[in-house]
């Protein structure tokens, strides 16, 4: 006996019910002469625009625009200008310029960033980014002497951390700062290429190896006596 299948039920599509769309409220213009249909505020009005225009080449906008960069002393500006002329035709001259500026002035002043950027056709933000990226560039004037203490693995295994703590106690300043009397700036450095005689330090560009607390005290005393 054959089974007769039951007839299928027809499905009737039901139209979805959406709430009626409300009309948008009319926008009232502050200026009666201005058209209500215009989506842009009148010239000089930024209260209706959530993104007011900023000054060109701004790095860190604050308030109405970028803070003004400090100006260089005439003697410092002349030195920077001489360096820029010397490296004018050198491709990729930004890093050599910054190294020479720091060698001549002891640091890279904020006032020199604009002068450098204008000379090489870069923005202030690009030059500022390079200065802040490489820790070797100083953004503050150093002391009369600069002491670099190696913090690499080989020197750490031979006691550079204890040596660094002793230097900080002796000078009364933290790593990366200057002593209160302005005599010595202590900076970290990550490998001086003198791993065979760890721990190593560099004082005013001169390398010293197998440095102990007694040896670093003698080096600092000699440097202070010469300043």
Neighbouring CB atoms inside 10 A of 6's CB total 6
What is the Cα Rg of the chain in Å? 33
Verdict on whether the full-model pTM lies above 0.75: no
pLDDT tens-digit profile of 55-71? 444 444 344 335 566 78
Give the burial class of 90: count Cβ atoms within 10 A of its Cβ; 0-12 exposed, 13-18 middle, 19 or more buried.
Answer: exposed
What the block records as the tokens of 166 is 């002793």
> Distance between CA atoms of 170 and 124, rounded to whole angstroms?
39
**Cβ burial 45-65 (10 Å sphere, 16+ → b, else e):** eeeeeeeeeeeeeeeeeeeee
Chunk the chain into consecutive blocks of 10 residues (it has 227) and report each block's average pLDDT, rounded to whole numbers.
60 55 56 49 50 48 51 92 94 95 95 95 95 93 95 95 96 94 94 95 96 96 86
């Amino acid at each position: 006996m054959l089974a007769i299948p039951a007839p299928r039920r027809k499905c009737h599509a039901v139209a979805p019910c959406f709430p009626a769309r409300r009309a948008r409220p009319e926008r009232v213009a502050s200026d009666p002469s201005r058209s209500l249909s215009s989506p842009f505020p009148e010239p000089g009005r930024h209260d209706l625009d959530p993104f007011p225009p900023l000054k060109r080449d701004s790095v860190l906008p604050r308030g109405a625009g970028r803070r003004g960069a400090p100006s260089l002393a005439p003697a410092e500006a002349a030195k920077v200008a001489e360096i820029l002329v010397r490296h004018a035709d050198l491709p990729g001259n930004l890093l050599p310029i910054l190294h020479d500026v720091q060698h001549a002035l002891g640091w890279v002043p904020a006032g020199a960033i604009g002068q450098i950027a204008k000379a090489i056709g870069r923005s202030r933000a690009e030059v500022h980014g390079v200065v802040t990226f490489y820790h070797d560039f100083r953004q503050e004037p150093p002391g009369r002497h600069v002491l670099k203490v190696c913090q690499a693995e080989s020197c750490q295994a031979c006691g550079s951390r204890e040596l660094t703590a002793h230097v900080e106690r002796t000078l009364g300043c933290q790593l990366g700062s200057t002593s209160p009397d302005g005599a010595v700036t202590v900076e970290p450095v990550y490998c001086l290429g003198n791993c065979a005689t760890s721990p190593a330090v560099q004082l005013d560009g001169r390398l010293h190896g197998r440095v102990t607390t007694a040896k670093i005290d003698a080096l600092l005393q000699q440097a202070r006596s010469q300043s």
